Amino acid sequence: MAKKLSFVVVSNNSNTEFIPFLKEVLDSMISPIYGPQEKALFSILQSVDRRCEVLLSTVEPSSSPGTQPSPPVPLGLVVYKIKPTDEFARFGVTNSVEIKTLCLADPSKSSGKGYGSALLDQVIEYARKNGANGAHVTVSN
């Protein structure tokens, strides 16, 4: 059986079964640092100004008859602004997609396996397809 990685966009209109995973990440990883995330969650689920993509792992069934695939397992997620921005032009960052959140579901098990890079690559691909120069992330203290 081989592992297959894929991405799904999570919103009120698609892949709603992963909304609890999104909420768990926001509550356990983001809220302790930045405070309540209700506004961000609303923006994501309504696709107001940001998009959430979840990286999934699915174990492909063997070729044996009647073997069913396992349910997909979320490995991590990335949330980014939908429209490129010039908000940080004073720092030389123009026409760039802002990454709001990028995290692994369980870093102790999945760190070093390329999942974080896959999440970052997904945003870069989105940025290029949408005419942006690249992607950026802001860091606050």
pLDDT at 3 (0 to 100): 81
Q: Going edge to edge, which strands form the sheet with 3-10?
A: 3-10, 50-59, 73-81, 96-104, 134-137
pLDDT at 116 (0 to 100): 95
DSSP classification of residue 127: H
Question: What percentage of the chain reaches a pLDDT higher than 70?
Answer: 91
Q: Is the pLDDT of residue 15 over 80?
A: yes
DSSP string, 57-99: EEEPPPSSTTPPPPPPEEEEEEEEESS-B-TTGGGT--SEEEE
Split at pLDDT 50, 70, 90, the class of 117 is very high
Q: What is the mean pLDDT of residues 43-68?
A: 84
